[in-house]
């Protein structure tokens, strides 16, 4: 079919060309004498050789075809009606009547002339010249140039440990600055712990390091910290901010994503393993083809508007917003480019055309929000098979104890129901709904198994029919019942209250023995559930045999699925005891199976082959223009994908292009991020914007050197960390200097290590470390900071009391979109609505109130006090000294000790601990 279309369009083009020739031979419009002078008189002043307002130029064929900022071609040869130029000069574009001055407007005849010219093929004198719009001219902006093969400067100085320092010293000298003296050992170990691990060092670690006389003591410390798994926990936060990760959907309903956490574990593990950055980013775009399927959770880590409507305009706009989130995050996070501006028109600053935006959109067009069942490992699969056999056996053994002999199976469950029967041949399978718990019935998937293969899939050639389908909803169509995608957004709903049927026709007869069906396998919806049903199969049409029904299930209960009821009392006690043991075994068996199965589901997106992507005029879903093939920003590269390239191949191609060593942005952007997270500010201070509107690097050569180091050392992030940590620049004292402040208050030239307030996570983790209750358990589902009211629209109420389950590291706190955690959220925690490359750092009275008065902190202060008493007994001097070491990594001086003891004597140890946990010295990185 695609071939035929292409041939036809070529045919049309030939016919069109012929008619142009004919026309020009007879009464055709002539450019030189008619169109040219008209455009010259009315348009060229603003859109000609001298000026190109809105970047539109009408005196060249190539730019006529390419158009200006709007992204619309000015003319479509052969189609005056749709040509933007005609719409503009005839006032069909609201607010954009051209020429703007009413006195200059074209007459009806002049417009007609332009129409004829375009309809006749828009012949121009330069029609034969090559279309320069098609050739890639690499823009001259610095970040688009290949990495410079830089050689670090040789600096005549006895300061500096590696090339970083040579670059920095060069800059300092140019500005008449000198570096600060080195920080003390105690300061450095504290700085490195907080920076790399996000927790303070133990007093013992500080003391041991202070007296470590070995020449390589510093290198040993750095190696130890880089090998510490807490590194991944701290640095994952930065990445999770950048990719707007959260564990709820956002928008008004803000429902949970209980299976989003595996992505957090993936990021922590990847960082700890020092996974090459190119691989790390490729896996997130296309991990399903690279052996890291959970990594694609990145694609759908952003917000998702769950509120659906039959209003097609809304549905289209929601989908555009989802795709915008995916491609916008990808371009900012990996490339440092803000492609989002090109959704409605060509980018105002960067060489990104509107077509590029839709080429990128076509890359993601097949990605849908939702969970995906990831393949379970073989041992788990075997375990499930074994457990299922055991459960079946137990059910048989429990049969005599059934309270209602006819109700031997659990009631229907919105999340999924299984039907087992003796194998029999079938060509047709019909699922008939006889009653629902509300409204028209909904099925998100109907699976029919021959052996272990689901033969009902459309992709396997099966066809579906139904009694009726609810009109108006693209998310509730018949085809969703066997598309392999789960959840309400991929489901069928009949158009009959409490009734309806759906039928699967297999491509050929098969022996089947197992059927699985569900209302919403993602567990978001429990309404519209078929509560009474029957399933029949047939080899010949109409010759139905019933294989399963709700008759032997427990009746559906409003408060959730019901298990079969057993009555042990009516049997002798010894038998009853046996029965009870059997039931307990069965329940354990079932729970274990569920756990094993659930381990395979991850909110990592579902993939389907998309239809064509169109450029949208002004970004309006209702105004599609030409189809756009999947691709990337044309001025920077090319992906060579066919219009209908397979979905996965699209993402993989983009991933490979981004990760290519030739891509000038990828390594620069990441090297800058690493620098920024160590120093608080990047070499480029606009980390998500390396485009023309972004900031220039303060040290362009240093940035290129770091980027080359990253690229040429297997994209190892730990290699960059090591270079930075060992540099004299990093190891400078953070103390202020009056002279340096006068020249460079913003520390743009790095005359000191810039001190700064810690982020929320290291503040909370430090407090838990100091009080001694931090639970170091790594990985797995997080803990909640909220009591959640489970209405349609979720409400999040901050917890009022806390226990050990809340004392894990903050990276494991279930990330709720929009709602900030009640104590630490106000320390500029992002709301995960969009990519945050670096957090704000504000100081507010609410932060003070939270740290000074919240039950969380008061409890921590008590725990801290209890720890001091436990470790130091009643000796106040010891208590104070220990507290200083734990909080600040140093001993108190004489005055501090005296004052503290006096304070404890009057106000108590708890009050002292409360103040210590609020102190600047604890919450600042220096």
Partner 1 sequence: MPSHELAGRHLLNRRAFLNHAATGLSGIALSMLLAEQGLLLAQSPEGTVSGKSPLRPMIEPQHPFAARAPHFPAPAKRVVVIFCSGACSHLDTFDYKPELIHRHGMPLPGADKLITFQGEQGNITRSPWQFRPRGECAKMTSDLLPELGALADDICFLHSLKGKTNTHGPGENFMSTGSTLDGFPSAGAWTSYALGTENENLPAYVAIPDPRGTPQNSVNNWGPGFLPAAYQGTDFNTSKPIRNLARPEGISTASDDQARSFLKRLNERHLEKFPEDSELAARISSYELAARMQLSIPEVSELASESATTLKMYGADDAENPLRAAYAKNCLLARRLLERGVRFVQLFNGAYQTGGEGVSNWDGHKSIEEQYNLHGPVLDQPTAALVRDLKQRGLLRDTLVVFCTEFGRMPTFQKGASGRDHNPEGFTCWLAGAGVKAPFSYGATDEFGYRAVENIVTVHDFHATILHLLGLDHERLTYYHNGLERRLTDVEGHVVRDVLA
Site for partner 1 in 242-261 (CB under 8 A): 250-254
Token pair for 63: 């730019």
User: Is residue 695 a contact point for partner 1 (CB under 8 A)?
Assistant: yes
Q: How far apart are the C-alpha atoms of 623 and 93, rounded to whole Å?
A: 13
The interface with partner 1 within residues 906-925 (CB under 8 A) comprises 906-908, 911-912, 914-916, 918-921, 923-924
For residues 60 and 861, give the distance between their C-alpha atoms in angstroms, rounded to a whole number. 74
Regarding 757 and contact with partner 1 (CB under 8 A), the answer is yes
CB 447 within 8 A of CB 516: yes
Q: From 146-154, 453-461, 523-531, 787-795, give the range in contact with partner 1 by CB under 8 A.
A: 787-795
Give the one residue of 8, 51, 312, 424 binding partner 1; rule: CB under 8 A: 312
Residue choice 216, 587, 842, 898 for contact with partner 1 (CB under 8 A): 842
State how far the Cα of 200 lies from the Cα of 36, in Å rounded to an integer: 74
Closer to partner 1 by Cβ: residue 499 or 818: 818
Helix, strand, coil percentages in the chain from 3-state DSSP, rounded to 5: 45, 10, 45
Residues 663-682 that bind partner 1 (CB under 8 A): 680-681
Closest separation in Å from C-beta 339 to partner 1: 9
Query: What is the closest distance, in whole angstroms, from the C-beta atom of residue 175 to partner 1 in the complex?
Result: 10
Instruction: Specify the residue, 517 or 751, whose C-beta has the smaller distance to partner 1.
Output: 751
Q: CA nearest 668: which of 373, 308, 277?
A: 277
Strand ranges (E), 251-390: 367-368, 372-373
Of the candidate spans 623-631, 666-674, 690-698, 722-730, the one that interacts with partner 1 by CB under 8 A turns out to be 690-698
In the complex with partner 1, the residue whose CB is nearer, 13 or 852, is 852
802 binds partner 1 (CB under 8 A): no
Nearer to partner 1 by Cβ, of 81 and 902: the residue is 902
Pairwise CA distance, residues 484 & 776, whole Å: 39
Please identify which residue in 17, 18, 41, 307 interacts with partner 1, judged by CB under 8 A: 307
CB of 78 or CB of 340, closer to partner 1: 340
Q: Map the footprint of partner 1 across residues 506-565, applying CB under 8 A.
A: none
DSSP helix/strand/coil, 406: coil
Q: Does 837 bind partner 1 (CB under 8 A)?
A: yes
Among 81, 385, 459, 852, binds partner 1 (CB under 8 A): 852
CA–chain centroid gap for 851, Å, is 31
896 binds partner 1 (CB under 8 A): yes
First to last CA, the chain: 66
The token duo for 833 is 């609505």
Rg (CA), the chain: 34
Q: Which is nearer to partner 1, 373 or 635 (CB)?
A: 635
Chain positions 703 to 742 lying near partner 1, rule: CB under 8 A, are: 734-736, 738, 741-742
Q: To the nearest whole angstrom, how small is the minimum distance from the Cβ of residue 764 to partner 1?
A: 15
In order of 143, 301, 322, 631, 656, the CA distances from 650 in angstroms are 25, 19, 17, 8, 10
Residue 408: CB minimum distance to partner 1, A: 39
* Residue in 128, 840, 874, 894 binding partner 1, rule: CB under 8 A: 840
Q: Which of 138, 403, 638, 841 touches partner 1 (CB under 8 A)?
A: 841
Among 631, 691, 762, 889, binds partner 1 (CB under 8 A): 691
How big is the site for partner 1, counted in residues (CB under 8 A)?
103
801 burial class (0-12, 13-18, 19+ CB within 10 angstroms)? exposed
Report the distance separating Cα 248 and Cα 837, nearest Å: 20
792 part of the interface to partner 1, by CB under 8 A = yes
233, 811 Cβ separation under 8 angstroms: yes
Q: How many residues does the chain have?
A: 926
Residue 746 interacting with partner 1 (CB under 8 A): yes
- Going by the DSSP 8-state scheme, the letter that residue 525 receives in this structure is -
Q: Which region, judged by CB under 8 A, interacts with partner 1, from 256-264, 380-388, 399-407, 684-692?
A: 684-692
- 745 contacts partner 1 (rule: CB under 8 A): yes
**80 or 861: CB nearest partner 1:** 861
Q: Of 852, 863, 877, which Cα lies nearest the Cα of 910?
A: 863
Q: What is the dihedral angle through the alpha carbons of 520, 522, 524, 530, rounded to the nearest 10 degrees?
A: 20
Q: Is the dihedral of CA 640, 646, 651, 655 positive or negative?
A: negative
Binding mask 804-833 for partner 1 (x = CB under 8 A): -------------xxxx-xx--xxx--xxx
| Whole-number Å distance between alpha carbons of 809 and 465 | 52
Burial class (CB in 10 A: 0-12, 13-18, 19+), 2: exposed
* Nearer CB in complex with partner 1: 535/683: 683
Indicate the residue among 312 and 877 with the shorter CB distance to partner 1.
Answer: 312
Count helices and strands (H / E) in the chain.
Answer: 29, 19
854: left (phi over 0), alpha (psi -120 to 50) or beta: beta
Segment 373 to 402, residues that bind partner 1, using CB under 8 A: none
- Find, among 271, 264, 276, the residue nearest to 230 by Cα: 271
Site for partner 1 in 286-305 (CB under 8 A): 303, 305
Q: Does 474 bind partner 1 (CB under 8 A)?
A: no
DSSP letter (8 states) at residue 630: S
Q: Which of 290, 316, 317, 576 binds partner 1 (CB under 8 A)?
A: 317
Residues 192-251 touching partner 1, rule: CB under 8 A, are 250-251
Judged by beta carbon, residue 607 or residue 912, the one nearer partner 1 is 912
Binding to partner 1 in span 331-350, by CB under 8 A:
332, 337-338, 340-341, 348-349
Residue 783's alpha-carbon distances to 129, 261, 473, 771, in angstroms, are 65, 11, 37, 19
List the one residue from 795, 805, 871, 905 that touches partner 1 (CB under 8 A): 795
* Residue from 850, 860, 876, 881 binding partner 1 (CB under 8 A): 850
Least distance (Å) between residue 854 CB and partner 1: 5
CB 546 within 8 A of CB 534: yes
Q: Within positions 563 to 592, which residues make up the interface with partner 1, using CB under 8 A?
A: none
Name the one range near partner 1 by CB under 8 A: 17-25, 615-623, 629-637, 687-695.
687-695
CA gap 648, 653 in Å, rounded? 9
| For partner 1, the closer CB: 7 or 349 | 349
Least separation in angstroms between CB 648 and partner 1? 28
Nearer to partner 1, 8 or 793 (CB): 793
Residue placing its CB nearer to partner 1 in the complex, 474 or 587: 474
- Cα–Cα dist 628/623, whole Å: 14
Tell me the C-alpha distance between 782 and 767, whole Å. Answer: 19
**DSSP state string for 735-790:** ---HHHHHH-TT-TT-SSPPPEEPPHHHHHHHHHHHHT--B---SSS-B-SEEEE-
Question: How big is the CA angle at 869 (ends 804 and 888), to the nearest 5 degrees?
Answer: 80
Quick one: CA dihedral 753, 757, 759, 761, positive or negative? positive
Cβ at position 242, least distance to partner 1 in Å: 11
Least spacing, CB of residue 382 vs partner 1, in Å: 44
The residue from 326, 836, 883, 925 that contacts partner 1 (CB under 8 A) is: 836
Residue from 21, 79, 309, 385 in contact with partner 1 (CB under 8 A): 309
**Pattern 152-181, partner 1, x by CB under 8 A:** ------------------------------
Out of 100, 176, 310, 423, name the contact with partner 1 by CB under 8 A.
310
The helix (run of H) or strand (run of E) holding residue 672 is helix 666-679
């Amino acid at each position: 079919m695609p071939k035929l279309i292409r041939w036809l369009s070529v045919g049309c083009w030939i016919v069109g060309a012929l008619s142009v020739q004919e026309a020009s031979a007879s009464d055709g419009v002539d450019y030189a004498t008619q169109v040219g002078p008209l455009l010259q008189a009315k348009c060229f002043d603003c859109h000609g050789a001298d000026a190109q307002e809105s970047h539109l130029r009408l005196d060249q064929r190539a730019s006529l075809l390419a158009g200006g900022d709007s992204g619309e071609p000015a003319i479509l040869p052969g189609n005056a009606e749709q040509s933007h130029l005609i719409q503009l000069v005839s006032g069909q574009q609201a607010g954009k009547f051209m020429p703007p001055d009413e006195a200059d407007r074209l007459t009806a005849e002049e417009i007609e002339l332009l129409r004829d010219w375009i309809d006749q093929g828009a012949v121009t004198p330069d029609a034969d010249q090559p279309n320069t719009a098609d050739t890639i001219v690499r823009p001259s902006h610095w970040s688009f140039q290949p990495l410079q093969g830089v050689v670090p400067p040789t600096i005549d100085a006895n300061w500096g440990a590696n090339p970083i320092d040579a670059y920095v010293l060069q800059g300092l000298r140019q500005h008449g600055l000198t570096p600060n003296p080195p920080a003390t050992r105690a300061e450095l170990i504290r700085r490195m712990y907080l920076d790399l691990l996000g927790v303070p060092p133990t007093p013992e670690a500080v003391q041991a390091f202070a007296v470590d006389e070995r020449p390589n003591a510093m290198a040993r410390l750095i190696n130890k910290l880089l090998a510490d798994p807490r590194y991944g926990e701290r640095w994952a936060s930065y990445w999770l901010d950048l990719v707007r990760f959260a564990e709820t959907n956002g928008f008004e309903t803000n429902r949970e994503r209980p299976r989003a956490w595996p992505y957090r574990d993936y990021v922590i593990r990847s960082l700890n393993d020092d996974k090459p950055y190119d691989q790390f980013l490729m896996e997130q775009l296309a991990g399903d083809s690279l052996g890291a399927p959970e990594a694609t959770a990145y694609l759908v880590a952003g917000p998702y508007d769950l509120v659906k409507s039959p209003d097609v305009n809304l549905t289209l706009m929601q989908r555009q917003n989802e795709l915008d989130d995916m491609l916008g995050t990808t371009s900012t996070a990996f490339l440092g480019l803000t492609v989002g501006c090109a959704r409605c028109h060509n980018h105002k600053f960067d060489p990104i055309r509107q077509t590029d935006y839709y080429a990128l959109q076509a890359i993601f067009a097949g990605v849908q929000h939702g969970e995906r069942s990831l393949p379970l490992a073989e041992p788990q699969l075997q375990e499930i098979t074994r457990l299922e056999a055991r459960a079946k056996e137990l059910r048989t053994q429990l049969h005599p104890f059934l309270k209602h002999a006819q109700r031997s199976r659990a009631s229907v469950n919105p999340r999924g129901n299984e039907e087992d029967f003796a194998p029999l041949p079938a060509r047709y399978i019909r699922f008939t709904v006889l009653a629902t718990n509300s409204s028209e019935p909904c099925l998100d998937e109907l699976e029919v198994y021959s052996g272990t293969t689901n033969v009902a899939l459309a992709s396997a050639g099966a066809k579906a029919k139904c009694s009726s389908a609810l009109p108006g909803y693209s998310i509730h169509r018949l085809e969703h019942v066997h598309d392999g995608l789960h959840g309400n957004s991929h489901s069928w709903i009949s158009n009959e209250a409490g009734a309806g049927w759906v039928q699967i026709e297999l491509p050929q007869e098969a022996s089947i023995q197992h059927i699985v069906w569900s209302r919403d396998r993602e567990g978001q919806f429990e309404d519209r559930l078929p509560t009474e049903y029957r399933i029949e199969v047939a080899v010949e049409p109409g010759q139905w045999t019933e294989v399963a029904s709700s008759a032997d299930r427990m009746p559906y209960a409003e408060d959730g699925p019901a298990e079969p009821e057993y009555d042990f009392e009516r049997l002798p006690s010894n038998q009853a005891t046996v029965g009870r043991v059997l039931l307990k075994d069965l329940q354990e068996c079932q729970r274990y199976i569920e756990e094993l199965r659930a381990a395979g589901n991850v909110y990592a997106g579902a993939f389907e082959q998309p239809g064509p992507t169109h450029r949208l005029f002004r970004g309006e879903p209702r105004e599609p223009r030409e189809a756009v093939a999947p691709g990337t920003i044309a001025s920077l590269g090319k992906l060579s994908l066919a219009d209908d390239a397979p979905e996965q191949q699209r993402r993989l191609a983009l991933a490979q292009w981004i990760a290519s060593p030739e891509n000038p942005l990828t390594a620069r952007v990441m090297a800058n991020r690493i620098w920024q997270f160590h120093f608080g500010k990047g070499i480029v201070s606009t980390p998500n914007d390396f485009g023309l509107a972004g900031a220039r690097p303060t040290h362009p050569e240093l940035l290129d050197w770091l980027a080359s180091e990253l690229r040429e050392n297997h994209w190892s992030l730990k290699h960059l960390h090591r270079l930075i940590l060992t540099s004299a620049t990093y190891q400078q004292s953070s103390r202020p200097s009056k002279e340096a402040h006068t020249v460079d208050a913003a520390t743009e030239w790095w005359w000191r290590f810039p001190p700064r307030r810690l982020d929320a996570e290291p503040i909370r983790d430090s407090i838990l470390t100091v009080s001694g209750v931090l639970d170091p358990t790594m990985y797995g589902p997080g803990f909640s900071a909220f009591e959640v009211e489970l209405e349609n629209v979720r409400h999040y109420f901050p917890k009022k009391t806390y226990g050990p389950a809340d004392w894990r590291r903050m990276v494991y706190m279930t990330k709720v979109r929009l709602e900030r955690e009640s104590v630490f959220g106000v320390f500029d925690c992002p709301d995960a609505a969009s990519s945050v490359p670096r957090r704000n750092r504000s100081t507010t009275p609410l932060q003070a109130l939270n740290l000074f008065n919240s039950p969380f902190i008061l409890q921590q202060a008590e725990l801290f006090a209890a720890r001091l008493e436990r470790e130091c007994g009643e000796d106040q001097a010891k208590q104070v000294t220990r507290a200083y070491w734990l909080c600040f990594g140093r001993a108190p001086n004489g005055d501090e000790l005296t004052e503290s003891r006096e304070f404890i004597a009057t106000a108590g140890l708890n009050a002292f601990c409360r103040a210590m946990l609020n102190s600047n010295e604890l919450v600042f990185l220096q």
